[in-house]
Amino acid sequence: MKTIQTTFTAIILICLFLIQPIHSQTTEFSRKLSLSVSYESANFTNDQFKPYLLSQSPNTGFAKLAVHYKLSELLSSGTYLGYGRLGLPEPYTISLIQNGVEQERTWYGFDKSNAFSTGIELKFMLLPLFIKNETRISIYPKIQAGILLHNTHNNALVDKTKFEYGAGIGAGYAFTRKFGVFGEFMLGDFYNDDKSKWNVGVNIKL
């Protein structure tokens, strides 16, 4: 009986010894994680169909959720998931009278459908190169690559998928050690003939 108690006690001590490093590693890992929620601009439709919009393009964009991991003081990587509703051009025929002659022309109306984006991004923090102390302000170049999936409902006029990529600059301000805001601007090749994007949101360190 005494042997069993000794063995059981030894097992508990070994488990505690193993759990402590795992807990420390988990805590260290979580300290390097951050979560951001943002709104990213997007083109409602592509350049081919923009002339058929009787007014300015409807305001549209993507709600974006991203998780980043701090690889070092200078570098962080992350992945993102976005959701938005983009335009679907629908053709119909209209009659016009010019110089007393009736002519038929094709016009386009627009519906909306779901779209999702996902990909990876990399940020390079500039200020730690020049300022050793921790600051509330962050400035960073950024690169991003991913794919956009558009539920086109078999509309042949619209691309179902698009590989997107871009690079740009971002800046953030931390109100506390855990909470901050940021804004970003990128140039690249994006869905619906979009060549630039802006993105604004909040950042939470876990």
Q: So what's the pLDDT on residue 24? A: 42
Q: So what's the pLDDT on residue 52? A: 79
pLDDT of residue 202 exceeding 60: yes
Is pLDDT larger for residue 135 or for residue 179?
179
Helix (H) or strand (E) segment spanning residue 205: strand 194-205
Q: How far apart are the first and last CA of the chain?
A: 47
Q: Can you tell me the mean pLDDT for 133-147?
A: 93
Is pLDDT larger for residue 29 or for residue 185?
185
| Dist. CA 52–CA 55, nearest whole Å | 9
Mean pLDDT of the chain: 83
Q: What is the pLDDT of residues 32-89, one digit of tens each?
A: 899 999 999 998 888 888 887 765 556 689 999 999 999 998 999 999 999 999 988 8
